Structure 1
Amino acid sequence: MASALVLDASSGAPLHEQLYQALRTAMVTGRLPAGTRLLATRALAEQLDLSRNTVMTAYTRLLAEGYLVGRHGSGTYVADELPERALSARRAPAPSAARRANPPSLSKRGAVLAAAPPLFPFEQDVSGSTMAFRLGMPALDAFPHELWGRLHHERWRRSWRDTLSHRDPRGFRPLREALANYLATSRGVRCAPEQVLIVNGTQQALSLTVQVLLDPGDAAWVEDPGYPPVRGTLIAAGAALVPVPVDAEGLDVEAANRLRPDARLAVVTPSSQHPLGVHMSLRRRRALLEWAERTNAWVFEDDYDSEFRYAGRPFAALQGLTPDARVIYSGTFGKVLSPSLRLGYLVVPEALIDVFVKARMLADLRSPSLEQAVLTDFINQGHFSRHLRRMRVLYAERQALLVEEARRELRGLLEVGPAETGMHLVGWLPPGMDDRTAAARAAAAGVVALPLSAFRSQTSGRGALVLGYAAVPEPECSEGVRRLRQALG
């Protein structure tokens, strides 16, 4: 055994560390096979001219890590299964016929969720780090990382104890105050800080709303085409989905009333409809609010990227059109700053504050406190408004570049026109061309171009590709368009 161990007295590493490594290597390589009985610590110390404590230290570590096993009254042996083998990935056995015939037992809600279509059926596995043309992603290359890091450091140095002890499930009070002021001046939202709840993004905002306001079997209007996770959230809650067509004026309220006037909730993106980008007309907005008031229903307003309007001021929020509107208003910082920030907000009517706070506590208690505090400083020191102004200019430039490149390179293959709002464009394919096939070809060429049909509940309609441009720098945009031409040509 001792002959298998090589120690270097001139090495700077401690002798017990060298012995540990030598023994471990001998076991892993098979020179000390499983079940081999090791020399006693005193005997090995004598053979290697080491102190017994050095040998005992190495043995103790190998025993603790599972390489050795001790047998009372017998000695110390190499383990039958080394940690490397226990931790290595193993091929999962093929499911047996019995397991396939008897799937795991689920609740009724779990069974509904399991049977639902994938939330993101359109996700494409595109290799590489290209951002062309990923949907819903802000310009990460323009994120103010140095400023954010400085604010992070200053907030931690100034008030780390208060930050660590923050426990309000509604969110950091100064952030809610800053948001209430911002929403009132920039979006026309009617609210006090007490009505603002900080959440982990729009998806959690909708989940809380559905939990509080819908019973299983209740009908809910959803835009068609619309954001697939909205459908997934409602399906998981047992709601009856009512896909409502969207035209140039937004969600067709008259059609919705013909389909299910008894719906309990309408989920809409009125400022920039996702994914078509149209703005809901004032006539439709008033009709929607009147329906909610008349039927005692609610409207969930997803204001996900309303800050990015390139012609005139952003449209006022639906929530602020009338006093006491039956609207749950939601916004997110994921589209403005970074999706990894995981911070969004809800504005709820006063009568619903208590129940929403309870639902928020039961969901996950609260959002990360330090990020909330840093975001508060970012807003109150004027950085947020400056960042928005820079992003509007940058996104307008990137949209114009995409439109120009598409006109030059994709004529006859993809019709891409400008939009007044948003972070993506819809490119229309020639009539009769399947957009899922086109999206698959684009993915094979290294470009993310999502099929519009994946956003639809109905399968009919002209095919199109949804192209995000906000996160795409100029060289990547040009290269992405070139690859699209190759894929579609």
Structure 2
Amino acid sequence: MAKSSSFPHLILPKGNIKDGLYYALRDAILDGRLSSGIKLPSSRALAEMMSISRNSVLAAFDRLLDEGYLLTKSSSGTYVVETIPDHLIQIQQDVAHSKQSKPQPLNINPYLESLLPAWKKQSLPSQGEKMFHVGVGCLDIFPHQLWGKLLTHAWRKSYHQLGESHDPRGYLPLRQAICHYVRSTRGINCNEEQIIIVNGIQQAIHLAAYTLLKPQDQVCLDEPGYDSALNIFRSFGVDVHPVSSDDEGMRIPEIIQDYTKSKLIYTAPSHQFPLGGTLSLSRRFMLLDWAAQQQKWIFEDDYNSEFRYRTHPIQALQGLDQQQRVIYSGTFSKMMFPEFRLGFMVVPENLINAFSLAKYYTDTRSSHLEQVALTLFIQEGHYARHVRKVRKACYERQQALIEAIQNHLADILTVQPTDSGIHLVCWLKNNWTEQAFIKKCTEAGLFVQPLSRYCQHSTQKAAVLFGYAAHNPDEIKENIEKLANMLRQDDNANFAGE
């Protein structure tokens, strides 16, 4: 027999009547005013009680039925369900077992555990502390409205494909668009079968380590170099050898002579991170010849190739490779925005299956909707136009930063010349230490990075990195002047106290 009870007084919130009735009924069910198993008035009767249209009641009932709050019984009426849907996902905490337990041994991957102390100390910028943050592109000139329209178009185009089996290598039209683009702009020698869509270059490095390396294998990496690459390799138990650079880029002769057992060489030949050098053509051929003869793998990180302002880039290592020893990687996050986690790899043909398997068992595939939108962004010419716009803006911002440093901080910093990239390396003078200078920058709300962060061993010369792409020239000048004024005030205060 159905429960009976007086129907509670309902207050409809302002706005759409059918939505308001839905929320009023749901809240009454959740707080117990409409108890489990109670029979509701008919839609006609409730409409009369509430002085609203019957269609509004029917719409609210349908929504509550769909979500499992109500059920209908043939020739009987509409009832509140015995088990409220929300109760199925709410866990009653056992207070007796909620006390803090004693720390237990972690027993995690020992290679990863060794990285935890540095990770805990690593400082990340807060929402209000991102000025001069390294690695961030021109967020202010990204076509946000256009991208929103493309996402909507992508959804309409692809929602019916949800649930279908997709290639772990990524959306085929995107792989075809990327293939065409890198062949024409970077001289890459590939077909779409060799393209694998990844969630940024960090995942590309991870997949390379996962696929090609085992603990105690040896890898060569720039010194200073990309800290994420270093720690990804270390997390696999790989021995990483630091290789310094000179005017011709990474010292390839040093690798050939001293690190003959290295299985993989990680390099960013177009714009070495963080110093910004370019690997000379002669050393590129030297590295490729050695890798082919000794069966070594080369991981080419081309994270910054589109940020070149006056000189033409040298053809990518992959395009010069005749023996398919190079794994090439690129990213869109620098040109788009940091949260856009799509990049790509170009793998040798004989590694396609191995890398596809590694990608599948890492995360199955990258986000389908963003892949479709990016395909449209490239195919319709928006990406190429955006690249040209960003290059112009970045060059202006780079010059603004150089001029501001030379005008206000020349007694402290020497700017290292570069024709590419989205950050500047500045060498400290007059016995300034990285720690002391970074402390002053932090006090000024600036997220400047020390060069030592990217070194395996201590550096003899102190330097800092300023990211400039995300800030317009006026912001750059204003903040450099602010820092300079703060430093002068400190100097005057110290002088007065002597």
* Structure 2 length-normalised TM: 0.78
CA distance in 2, matches of 1:210, 1:144: 35
**Structure-1 residue corresponding to 2:421:** 422
**Structure-1 residue corresponding to 2:272:** 273
**Can you list the C-alpha shifts for 1:38-66, whole angstroms capped at 9, x where unaligned?**
xxx9xxxxxxxxxxxxxx98x99799599
8 Å Cα contact 2:396-2:473 kept in structure 1? no
- Structure 2 vs 1, CA of residues 65 and 326 (structure 1 numbering), >3 Å: closer, same or farther? closer
**Structure-1 residue corresponding to 2:331:** 332
Aligned residues: 430
- 1:288 partner SS: helix
**Structure-1 residue corresponding to 2:392:** 393
8 Å Cα contact 1:126-1:447 kept in structure 2? no
**Structure-2 residue corresponding to 1:30:** none
8 Å Cα contact 1:119-1:232 kept in structure 2? no
- 1:113 partner SS: helix
1:74-85 paired onto structure 2 within 5 Å: none
- 1:376 partner SS: helix
**Structure-2 residue corresponding to 1:372:** 371
CA distance in 2, matches of 1:220, 1:244: 10
CA distance in 2, matches of 1:87, 1:398: 57
CA distance in 2, matches of 1:437, 1:309: 32
CA distance in 1, matches of 2:286, 2:430: 33
1:95-114 paired onto structure 2 within 5 Å: 99=103, 103-106=105-108, 110-114=109-113
- 2:197 partner SS: strand
**Structure-1 residue corresponding to 2:196:** 197
- Structure 2 vs 1, CA of residues 191 and 439 (structure 1 numbering), >3 Å: closer, same or farther? same
**Structure-2 residue corresponding to 1:254:** 253
**Structure-2 residue corresponding to 1:48:** none
CA distance in 1, matches of 2:403, 2:236: 44
Moved more, 389-398 or 255-264: 255-264
Question: Residue type matched to 2:317 in 1?
Answer: L
- Structure 2 vs 1, CA of residues 321 and 122 (structure 1 numbering), >3 Å: closer, same or farther? farther
Question: Residue type matched to 1:105 in 2?
Answer: N
Question: Residue type matched to 1:103 in 2?
Answer: P
CA distance in 2, matches of 1:208, 1:451: 28
Q: CA deviation at 1:482?
A: 2.6
**Can you list the C-alpha shifts for 1:162-211, whole angstroms capped at 9, x where unaligned?**
36535111111111111111111100111011111111111111111111
**Structure-2 residue corresponding to 1:146:** 145
CA distance in 1, matches of 2:209, 2:130: 33
- 2:156 partner SS: helix
CA distance in 2, matches of 1:223, 1:200: 23
1:58-457 paired onto structure 2 within 5 Å: 64=87, 99=103, 103-106=105-108, 110-116=109-115, 123-162=122-161, 165=164, 167-430=166-429, 432-457=431-456
CA distance in 2, matches of 1:482, 1:120: 32
- 2:458 partner SS: coil
Q: CA deviation at 1:127?
A: 4.6
Structure 1: where are the runs of 5+ without partners? 1-7, 25-40, 42-55, 68-81
8 Å Cα contact 1:442-1:487 kept in structure 2? no
Question: Residue type matched to 1:281 in 2?
Answer: S
- Structure 2 vs 1, CA of residues 285 and 157 (structure 1 numbering), >3 Å: closer, same or farther? same
8 Å Cα contact 1:413-1:488 kept in structure 2? no
CA distance in 2, matches of 1:425, 1:334: 19
**Structure-2 residue corresponding to 1:482:** 481
CA distance in 1, matches of 2:241, 2:357: 29
Question: Residue type matched to 2:105 in 1?
Answer: P
**Structure-2 residue corresponding to 1:35:** none
8 Å Cα contact 1:122-1:454 kept in structure 2? no
Q: CA deviation at 1:316?
A: 1.5
- Structure 2 vs 1, CA of residues 260 and 125 (structure 1 numbering), >3 Å: closer, same or farther? closer
CA distance in 2, matches of 1:63, 1:172: 37
- Structure 2 vs 1, CA of residues 117 and 481 (structure 1 numbering), >3 Å: closer, same or farther? farther
- Structure 2 vs 1, CA of residues 92 and 111 (structure 1 numbering), >3 Å: closer, same or farther? farther
**Structure-1 residue corresponding to 2:51:** none
Q: CA deviation at 1:141?
A: 0.9
CA distance in 2, matches of 1:383, 1:66: 45
**Can you list the C-alpha shifts for 1:386-415, whole angstroms capped at 9, x where unaligned?**
110000000000001111111111121122
- Structure 2 vs 1, CA of residues 215 and 417 (structure 1 numbering), >3 Å: closer, same or farther? closer
- Structure 2 vs 1, CA of residues 23 and 181 (structure 1 numbering), >3 Å: closer, same or farther? closer
8 Å Cα contact 2:412-2:432 kept in structure 1? no
Q: CA deviation at 1:305?
A: 1.0
CA distance in 2, matches of 1:246, 1:265: 17
- Structure 2 vs 1, CA of residues 211 and 488 (structure 1 numbering), >3 Å: closer, same or farther? farther
CA distance in 1, matches of 2:139, 2:118: 25
**Structure-2 residue corresponding to 1:28:** none
- 1:415 partner SS: strand
- 1:420 partner SS: coil
- Structure 2 vs 1, CA of residues 63 and 446 (structure 1 numbering), >3 Å: closer, same or farther? closer
Structure 2: where are the runs of 5+ without partners? 1-7, 14-20, 39-78, 489-498
